Amino acid sequence: MSMASLASADGYGNKVKQIAARYGIYIAFVVMFVFLSLWSPWFLTFDNILNILRQCSINGIIAVGATLVIITGGIDLSVGAIVALAAVSAASVAHPDSYPVIVPILVGLAVGALFGGINGFIIAKGRIAPFIVTLGMMTIVRGGSLVMSDGRPVINLSDEYNTIGGGYLWGVPLPVFLFIAVVLIGAFLLHFCKFGRHVYAVGGNELAAVVSGLNVGRVKMGVYTLAGLFAGFAGIILSSRVMTGSPAAGAGYELDAIAAVVIGGTSLAGGTGAVLGTVIGTLIIGTMNNGLDLLNVSSYFQQIVKGIIIISAVLLDQYTKNSR
Amino acid sequence: MASEWLLEMVGISKSFPGVRALDDVCLRVRAGSVHALIGENGAGKSTLMKVLNGMYRPDVGEIRLRGEPVQINGLKGALDLGISMIYQELNPIPAMTVAENIFIGREPVYGRSGVVNRRKMNADARQLFETLGLAMNPSARLSSLSVAEMQMVEIAKAISFDSEIIVMDEPTSAITDREVEKLFEIIRTLKAANKAVIYISHKMNELFQIADEMTVMRDGRYIDTQLTDKLTTQSLISMMVGRRIDEMFPKEDVPLGEVVLSVDGLTQGDRVRNVSFELRRGEILGIAGLMGAGRTELVETIFGIRKSSAGRIQIGGQPVSIATPRDAIRNRIALVSEDRKLMGLNLRASVKDNISLINLARYCNLGGVIRARQEVEVARRQIDRFKIKVSSYRQIVDTLSGGNQQKVVIAKWILTNPDIIILDEPTRGIDVGAKSEIHKIMVALAREGKAIIMISSELPDFSQEAVMASATGSH
Ligand SMILES: Nc1ncnc2c1ncn2[C@@H]1O[C@H](COP(=O)(O)OP(=O)(O)OP(=O)(O)O)[C@@H](O)[C@H]1O
Ligand SMILES: [Mg+2]
């Protein structure tokens, strides 16, 4: 418990705070949603909502992996670069009349999982801080994708490949379904499986996890591998949608993902958090970007607003959690 | 206006989500006295004291100092009013030195420069230890100290504020008799200086030795306040639990079976040197010796937390190599460790998640999916068996009372159904009722043919049992 838990109020105020502490992020999302609906006639249209969801899907997929990593108390800065390497690798085997579309998909996923796995291996066996390892990996992988593509975007991709990120099902963009699928996988692993419980145990108290006989190294390998895998998947979707495997893709995506996780209420200290929070965090960032566009806020200014919202969300979270 | 009371807390109530921790509680303390605050685990003692030291704001109630109503604004506000507290849960900053831990936030500086005057800080700390009669190095890092030494640092720190009221929440749960004696000397000095000490403990003998008055709480409510002279252990216990506990530690005969564990020449560091012993089924082996004599190091080495430099371990006659706790668990050993916060619990997880953690696979299908209903049922059973006071199995362990946290650790390890159970100070912070409950469970386990190693500073508790209590030194 926090030593700073000083604020309090009468019984009624307490109730409000308890509710706010629990559902604050959802309430914030709803408020934002209602506000934008009233403000802009475009906002609450079927097309615009689908648009937001599609824009969210790539960040959301990466953020699910980041959630797992952050719950173990770690961090993964390399996922943005992995998006690029997966995009370039997948695209380079996705030219028309080369391989069936499953090949670039598997290549992209394998590249993501491989580098995520290497992160996990070094972190687990070398006992080096995840921040350092993944920072190094970020530049290695980014460099790798530049080397591989000779610094040029890989173009001329097949129509089948384009379907992954650009296709529709029942009028809904495919990436939205892929996002939902990854969320369900992540939530299932984290909340219903032994693996997920171990993820929380490692982040909550690593020494206690060791003493309880958990294979902490394997848990860490697992989360970083999944983070890489999902980043690889995001790279496939991105390159497929823009029909280009760009070595510059995904720059800064790791930070968007971390922001979504943190806004969603997962603590960087580890041991707490949930996939649903991350989904809401992703939707908040996506809705905010979309809303600022609709409100004609310049994209430069948008960055400032985004930063303010991230900090406010965490402040709100701290405040409500500490008031007892 | 002179009041008979130095401190009055009147009609204090405090609720947390799902529990009413304090319900109209009163406490009146005289200057120059030691006032014991007593009650079962989860009775609300620590919560009441955190209200006093400004950590919690009460929902309703009034606090008066020398008859004057006061408003306590946070920990700092409490210190300014002359109230300091030793917490039940230690909060050391491991990377900092003893002196830094004591003077954190009020370090002596050169003039107005803001640069810490290290020499003065260390000198002040040294002088503090001298007046308290403690031998401690001010520039040692906290991480190099034992739990008992950390506790003594906390005690010194609380006293260094020169407060009028000093709250001690189970200060003796981690220290030895010798240190307890030191502490009592310090308390007597404080008393002579007309200060008030509020003393929380589950150790009956201590209470009768040091307290002038006792206030009993039960289930968040005030029960009674009595002068110590008017009380007996029996009457105190029945006030605490609302019934009589007759035979606290019944004598039992458990026949011994074959040797399950044999340790031969085990050596680790310089505290565990060439230790050998044998443990039989049905045996409860007590390891005596002072704190810091290497008892914890010994069992941690057996359990694979520390690496041994020499020696052999056999289980059921077979030599085994235990390099990690995982290996130990595979060999059906359980270790209820000394420091529950450090290696016993995940404080951020629920009671259920802590209890089921070790052998979670048992409650999963082959694909690693948890069978939720079964897991909940198992957790509920352990909560009932160990009478853990929770608002639900979902309660986060951090919000349990200290004694109930300790019960979670024990429940968690017993659930693994081990053959060899090692308990390192298992009764730390546990109330009288629960102590006798745990003893009963240990005897029942011994009867089932389990073997038990028990490290306890409260050795008299179990040496009364008919089962063998032998002592193994580390030298
Ligand atoms: N922050 C919190 N959130 C929810 N419940 C809490 C919180 N703090 C305390 N409680 C509950 O309040 C009750 C009283 O706890 P408290 O720590 O005061 O007990 P205690 O008398 O000190 O017990 P022990 O002897 O075990 O230390 C317990 O049931 C506990 O679970
Ligand atoms: Mg307590």
**B261-281 average pLDDT score:** 87
Which ipTM score applies to this complex? 0.87
What chain B residue is nearest to A190 in terms of C-alpha separation? B369
Residue in B with minimal Cα distance to A2 = B55
Which atom number of ligand 1 is nearest to the Cα of residue B44?
18
**pLDDT value of residue B291:** 57
Cα B434 to ligand 2 centroid, rounded to whole Å: 14
Task: Give B60's strand partners.
Answer: B13
Using a 6 Å cutoff on CB, does residue B418 contact ligand 1?
no
Give, as one character, the DSSP assignment of residue B343: I
pLDDT at site B93: 87
Low-confidence spans in chain A with pLDDT less than 70:
1-22, 317, 320-324
What are the pLDDT digits (tens) for B332-388? 999 999 888 889 999 999 999 999 999 999 999 999 999 999 999 999 999 999 989
B344 and A CB contact within 8 Å: yes
pLDDT of residue A21: 64
The pLDDT assigned to A11 comes to 43
The verdict on the CB of residue B400 being under 6 Å from ligand 1 is yes
- Å from B25 to nearest chain A CA? 17
Tell me how close the Cα of A198 comes to any Cα of chain B, in angstroms.
8
CB B39 within 8 A of CB B22: no
Task: Identify the CA nearest to A130 among candidates A244, A56, A221.
Answer: A221
CB B155 within 8 A of CB B107: no
Q: Tell me: the pLDDT tens digits for B308-333? A: 888 899 999 899 999 999 999 999 99
Please tell me the least confidently modeled range out of B1-15, B26-40, B51-65, B369-383: B1-15
The pTM of the full predicted model, rounded to 2 decimals, is 0.87
**Closest ligand to the CA of B405:** 1
Q: Report the separation in Å between the CA atom of B42 and the middle of ligand 1, taken as the mean of its atom positions.
A: 5
Q: In this model, does residue B293 exceed pLDDT 80?
A: no
Q: Which of A250, A249, A168, A206 is nearest to A71 (CA)?
A: A206
Which has the minimum average pLDDT: A94-108, B47-61, B174-188?
B174-188
**Residues with C-beta atoms within 5 A of ion ligand 2:** B 46, 88, 401-402
Query: What residues in A contact B305, CB-CB < 8 Å?
Result: 210-211
Judged by CB atoms closer than 8 Å, whether chains meet at B349 and A193 is answered as no
Show residues of chain B in contact with A201, CB under 8 Å: 346, 349, 353, 357
Q: Any CB–CB contact under 8 A between B56 and chain A?
A: yes
Q: Tell me how far apart the alpha carbons of residues B131 and B111 are, in angstroms, rounded to a whole number.
A: 26
Can you tell me the mean pLDDT for B411-419? 95
Q: Which residues of B touch A195 (CB under 8 A)?
A: 368
The residue ranking higher by pLDDT, A198 or B150, is A198
Quick one: tokens of B24?
A: 């109209």
- Which residue among A10, A197, A271 places its CB closest to the CB of B357? A197
- A213 closest CB neighbour out of B74, B329, B342: B329
Q: Tell me which H or E stretch contains B100.
A: helix B98-102
Give A194's contacts in chain B (Cβ within 8 Å): 360-361, 364, 368-370
What does the pLDDT look like over A175-227, one tens digit per residue? Answer: 999 999 999 999 999 999 999 999 999 999 999 999 999 999 999 999 999 99
Angle, alpha carbons A137-A141-A144 (nearest 5°): 140
**CA separation for the pair A161, A244 (Å, rounded):** 11
DSSP alpha helix (H) spans, A42-192: 46-71, 79-92, 102-126, 130-149, 159-166, 174-192
Query: In chain B, which residue's Cα lies nearest the Cα of A272?
Result: B348
pLDDT for B195 equals 93
Q: Is the pLDDT of residue B57 over 80?
A: yes
Cross-strand pairs, B68: B65
What DSSP line would sit under A125-152, residue for residue?
HH---HHHHHHHHHHHHHHHHHHHHTTS
Give one DSSP letter per residue of B158-216, joined into a string.
Answer: HHHT--SEEEEESTTTTS-HHHHHHHHHHHHHHHHTT-EEEEE-S-HHHHHHH-SEEEE
The residue whose two tokens read 């406490």 is B27
The end-to-end CA distance of chain A, in Å, is 10
Phi, psi of A77 (to 5 degrees): -90, -5
Cα maximum dimension of chain B? 76
* Residue A238 amino acid letter: L
B155 near B168, Cβ under 8 Å? Answer: yes
**Closest approach of B4 to chain A, Cα-based (Å):** 30
What whole-number distance in Å separates Cα of residue A293 and Cα of residue A304?
14
Contact residues, chain A, for B326 at CB < 8 Å: 213-215
CA distance B433 to B246: 10
- Say if residues A235 and A85 touch (Cβ distance below 8 Å): yes
Per the model's pLDDT, the better-predicted residue between B18 and A251 turns out to be A251
Kindly state if the Cβ of B388 falls inside 6 Å of ligand 1.
no
d(CA A31, CA A29): 5
Q: How many Å lie between the alpha carbon of A163 and the closest alpha carbon of chain B?
A: 33
Interface size between A and B, measured as CB pairs under 8 A: 103
Q: Are strands A172-173 and A168-169 parallel, antiparallel or unpaired?
A: antiparallel
Nearest to B394 by CA among B363, B372, B409: B372
Q: Cα A60–A17–B91 angle (5° rounding)?
A: 85
Expressed in angstroms and rounded, the spacing between residue A73 Cα and the centre of ligand 1 is: 27
Q: Is the CB of B201 under 6 A from ligand 1?
A: no
Would you call A213 and B358 a contact, using CB atoms and an 8 Å cutoff? yes
Q: What is the pLDDT of residue A14?
A: 56
Q: How far is A201 from chain B (nearest CA, A)?
A: 6
Length of chain A measured in residues:
324
3-state SS string for B429-448 = CCCHHHHHHHHHHHHHHHHC
User: Is B369 at the interface with chain A, CB within 8 A?
Assistant: yes
Q: B104 and chain A: CB distance < 8 Å anywhere? A: no
The Cα A222–Cα A216 span in angstroms is 10
The string of pLDDT tens digits covering residues B88-139 is 888 888 889 999 999 988 888 888 888 888 899 999 999 999 988 888 899 8
Strand order in the sheet with B165-169: B83-86, B165-169, B196-200, B34-38, B213-218, B221-227
Q: Is the predicted pLDDT of residue B41 greater than 80, yes or no?
A: yes
Give the ligand 1 atom nearest the CA of B40: 25
Chain B residue nearest residue A11, CA to CA: B59
Strand bridging mode B272-280 / B259-268: antiparallel
Between B428 and B141, where is the model more confident?
B141
Of A310, A184, A203, the residue nearest A255 (C-alpha): A310
Higher pLDDT, A115 or B433: A115
Q: How far is the CA of B200 from the centre of ligand 1 (A)?
A: 14
How many angstroms separate the alpha carbon of residue B427 from the centre of ligand 2?
14
Average pLDDT over residues B211-227: 94
Q: Is there a contact between B364 and A194 if contact means CB atoms under 8 Å apart?
A: yes
Please report the pLDDT score of residue B19 as a whole number: 87
Chain B residues near residue A324 by CB distance under 8 angstroms: 16, 56-57
| pLDDT value at residue A142 | 97
Nearest to A204 among B326, B337, B346 (CB): B346
Ligand 1 pocket, residue B200 CB under 6 Å: no
Ligand 1: which of B13, B399, B431 to mutate, most ligand atoms within 8 Å of CB? B399
- Closest residue to A212, CB basis, from B74, B357, B370: B357
In this structure, the residue with its CA closest to atom 7 of ligand 1 is B399
Angle at B347 between CA B346 and CA B348, to 5 degrees: 90
Asked if A193 lies within 8 A of B370 by C-beta distance, the reply is yes
